[in-house]
Structure 1
């Protein structure tokens, strides 16, 4: 008996017309039946935000032949929630993939990323999920060197599944000389943030967020190290944020 193709939900945070999602759709079409639910505009840096104070719009669009596609007025997480509840009507897809994001989501960036939050929401729904990001913010970014790794990682997840409550954060370095894949941990790094203060024509102050990425982790098993050295970084991520190692300490306190 011939096995049916898997159903794959494709989402992102750069918007439904972004070049990255087009590449991801094309790759997923070689693997399974694709359904796209993506924001109608850029939603970078929205993290795990959801829309609760205004109605959501979900409109069917026809951008790529043979692909069922919807644009959503909400956040990346809204897209996954609506996909599961309204598009799939509770019958969950076999896989959720998010991206390909224009820009890295390594280290601490995973907390702010709309791309990764969409994948996290997929995992919350017990759907095997992967977030893909590439070290190039350009609209003309060349994703061609990422394709074979996206295919390989996706097929491995479909073949083997993922532990419950776990998803993959995959980041690609820029350049042609990708050396392979490294399974990594998240680097201990953060943004040293500053706010550029300016004045508008009405003499009111406003601010632009700026900052420098600071890596405080010199281990050679991190996502930052892997990317700096030409490898694709693959980090298993979980949404259980319990600091389990702190529980014994708290149990010694006299409340």
Structure 2
């Protein structure tokens, strides 16, 4: 934290994620931001993989924050969720006296679109900052096994840099809207992407079931068990396994159904599959299904017919 109180005219960017502070998506993004030499780069990210934790927070226990050496950045690994990291990082307590101008959560391995936004720790990191009035972006890359490689994560970071700069410019001129944060998804073939496209959250979802297993090897691909062949990725975690203890049953998630590409235009998943870098403005509240409101108004009026007193 030495020197954090020294005035610096550059905008402050804070990076977090849900894959963990050692994840290559985060490291490549931070390296790019540092190399640009246009920003003060702060990092506050989980000390372990927190994929799929949604907007969970630590409530009853204190969090540990440990300094991590990332060249050109001030970085901490935190024993909490992405929402915890975002909250702590924008508090002014960790980076003494500094509240970031912009929070970037990512780059996540795997697309956070459609209904998957509910589960996403990456999106939650951006949402938490937004809830406290700090502009934020969530960025994910549509990793596909057999088609993706670690170089694509570098390209994804580079492709999103103009967007980051555009947001910072809007913030500087005080023309950036305060009512939403942005969920950005980079397509698999990022080298040949078709440009940026404003989209809306769709209903795409990979549906999971359960199968009994005998080991605790992770069933879902993360940066720790993805097919990543790069020197900088060496040492990123291990696939632990354990034998069954007496009376213990182990179950793993398995994919049972993948929705096809949505027919509705301008949804995040469809545009991503068409090769666009999608930009979806999100709010903090769940979207109301307006067509259901008249039904439930009538349903509420009929509640008296089903009350215990009505039979007396």
Q: Out of 85-94 and 220-229, give the one that drifted further.
A: 85-94
Distance 1:52 1:179, change over 3 A: same
Runs of 4+ deviating beyond 6 Å: none
Residue 239 (1) aligns with residue 284 (2): yes
Aligned length: 252
Give the structure 1 partner of residue 179 of structure 2.
165
2:198 corresponds in structure 1 to 183
Match of 1:147 among 123, 148, 157: 157
Residues 1-255 of structure 1: matches in 2 within 5 Å? 4-29=9-34, 30=36, 31-62=38-69, 64-85=70-91, 86-88=93-95, 91-136=98-143, 141-142=150-151, 143-161=153-171, 162-175=176-189, 176-198=191-213, 200=244, 202=246, 204-211=248-255, 212-215=257-260, 217-241=262-286, 243=288, 245=290, 250-252=296-298, 253-254=300-301
Q: 1:19, CA displacement in angstroms?
A: 0.6
Q: Distance in 2 between matches of 1:148 and 1:202?
A: 51
Q: Where does the alignment leave 5 or more consecutive residues of structure 1 unmatched?
A: none
**1:210 is paired with a residue of what secondary structure?**
strand
- Partner-residue secondary structure (3-state), 2:181: strand
Is the 8 Å Cα contact of residues 29 and 154 (structure 2) preserved in structure 1? no
* TM-score, normalised via structure 1 length: 0.89
Structure 2, unaligned stretches of length 5 or more? 1-7, 215-243, 304-312
* More deviation, 239-248/192-201: 239-248
Give the distance between the partners of 1:120 and 1:215, measured in 2 at CA.
28
Larger radius of gyration: 2
Q: Which moved more, 1:202-211 or 1:95-104?
A: 202-211
TM-score by length of 2: 0.74
Alignment partners' CA distance in 2, 1:146 and 1:39:
21
2:207–2:258 CA contact under 8 A, matched in 1: yes
